[in-house]
């Protein structure tokens, strides 16, 4: 333990690893992770719903929502609001995509932090990383885990985003607001929230998946599973050399 601590204090800057695939892909993963959690975690939007009445004045409703997309907590109609000569009860949007959104953002944040730690290790402590097979093996296993988490979280968030779009869309609003099902009342979403950034977050999620799968191959090449130690062959060659010596 003391030996490891002494080695970790011996910083040896070497920028060659970031010029190679193993380190360069880590930089791309770091950047793409930032875009993934920024485009999802920083989102807020508002849709405007127009209620057209045959009898009585028209009405306008606002549905403002944001990360983590707990739509069932977003107020659509305040309590006892008069719409089309009818008194409506308090109504919320339908749906809750918070679990998939928060899981996606959590994976992105932890991937961001791991990339920083890995780059520090590659650039400053490559001698510790290469000293034994433990470092490359841990790196490979963690990389595979992140690739799996990106697959699951991106797929879950893609479905969660689709649920958000359905709930905020015209058909979703008509199903949520009971007054929209009555004769003489028409409900339309006249101003849709811009969800382009959320769609981009899904794209970045699957791009991260591709990067981490590719990085897993280069991390695997650093382990003894890909290139076993040559101690056995070296010993055998040494024995053959000794046996080939002339006897006195």
Q: Answer whether residue 91 is part of any domain.
A: yes
> For residue 47, is it within any domain?
yes
**Residue 247 in this model has a pLDDT that exceeds 80:** no
Report the pLDDT value the prediction gives residue 227, as an integer from 0 to 100: 67
Position 84 confidence tier, pLDDT thresholds 50, 70, 90: confident
Span 141-191, pLDDT tens digits:
999 999 999 999 999 999 999 999 999 998 999 898 888 888 888 999 999
List, for residues 205-237, the tens digit of each pLDDT value: 999 999 999 999 988 887 777 666 555 444 444
Q: Rounded to a whole number, what is the largest CA-CA distance in the chain?
A: 119
Q: Are 184 and 84 in contact (CB under 8 A)?
A: yes
Quote the pLDDT of residue 167.
Answer: 92
β-pair partners for 53: 185
pTM exceeds cut of 0.85: no
Please report the beta strands in 128-245, taking only residues with DSSP state E, as ranges in sequence order. 185-191
The helix (H) or strand (E) run that includes residue 234 is helix 231-244
Closest to 43 (Cα-Cα) out of 167, 187, 159, 161: 161
- 39 assigned to some structural domain: yes
pLDDT value for 109: 97
pLDDT of residue 240: 43
In this structure, what DSSP letter does residue 181 have? G
| 8 A C-beta contact, residue 144 and residue 225 | no
Q: Answer whether residue 135 is part of any domain.
A: yes
Does a structural domain hold residue 245? no
Q: Number of folded domains in the chain?
A: 1
Least Cα distance to 168 among 45, 51, 80 occurs for: 45
pLDDT top residue among 31 and 125: 31
- pLDDT class of 127 with cuts at 50, 70, 90: confident
Asked whether residue 169 is assigned to any structural domain, the reply reads yes
Domain that holds residue 18: 14-222
Q: Is residue 86 part of a domain?
A: yes
| Segment 73-80 mean pLDDT | 87
Query: Residue 117 domain-assigned?
Result: yes
Would you tell me how many other CB atoms lie within 10 Å of the CB of residue 227? 11
**Could you read off the pLDDT of 12-63 as tens digits, one per residue?**
777 787 788 888 999 999 999 999 999 999 999 999 999 998 887 888 899 9
What per-residue confidence (pLDDT) applies to 226?
60
């Amino acid at each position: 333990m003391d030996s490891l601590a002494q080695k970790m204090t011996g910083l040896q800057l070497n920028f060659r690893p970031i010029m190679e695939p193993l380190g360069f892909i880590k930089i791309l993963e770091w950047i793409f992770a930032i875009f993934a959690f920024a485009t999802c975690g920083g989102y807020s939007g508002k849709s405007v719903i127009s209620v057209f009445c045959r009898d009585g004045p028209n009405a306008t409703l606002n549905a403002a929502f944001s990360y983590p997309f707990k739509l069932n907590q977003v107020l659509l109609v305040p309590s006892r609001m008069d719409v089309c000569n009818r008194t409506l009860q308090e109504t919320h949007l339908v749906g809750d995509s918070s679990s998939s959104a928060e899981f996606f953002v959590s994976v992105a944040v932890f991937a961001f932090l791991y990339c920083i730690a890995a780059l520090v290790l590659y650039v400053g402590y490559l001698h510790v990383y290469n000293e034994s097979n433990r470092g490359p093996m841990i790196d490979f296993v963690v990389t595979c885990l992140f690739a799996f988490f990106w697959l699951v979280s991106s797929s879950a968030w893609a479905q969660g985003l689709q649920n958000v779009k359905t709930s905020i869309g015209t058909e979703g609003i008509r199903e949520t607001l009971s007054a929209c099902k009555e004769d003489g009342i028409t409900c339309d979403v006249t101003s849709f929230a811009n969800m382009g950034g959320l769609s981009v977050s899904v794209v970045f999620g699957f791009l991260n998946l591709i990067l981490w799968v590719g990085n897993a191959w280069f991390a695997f090449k650093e382990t003894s599973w890909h290139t076993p130690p040559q101690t056995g062959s070296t010993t055998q060659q040494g024995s053959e050399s000794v046996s080939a010596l002339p006897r006195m």
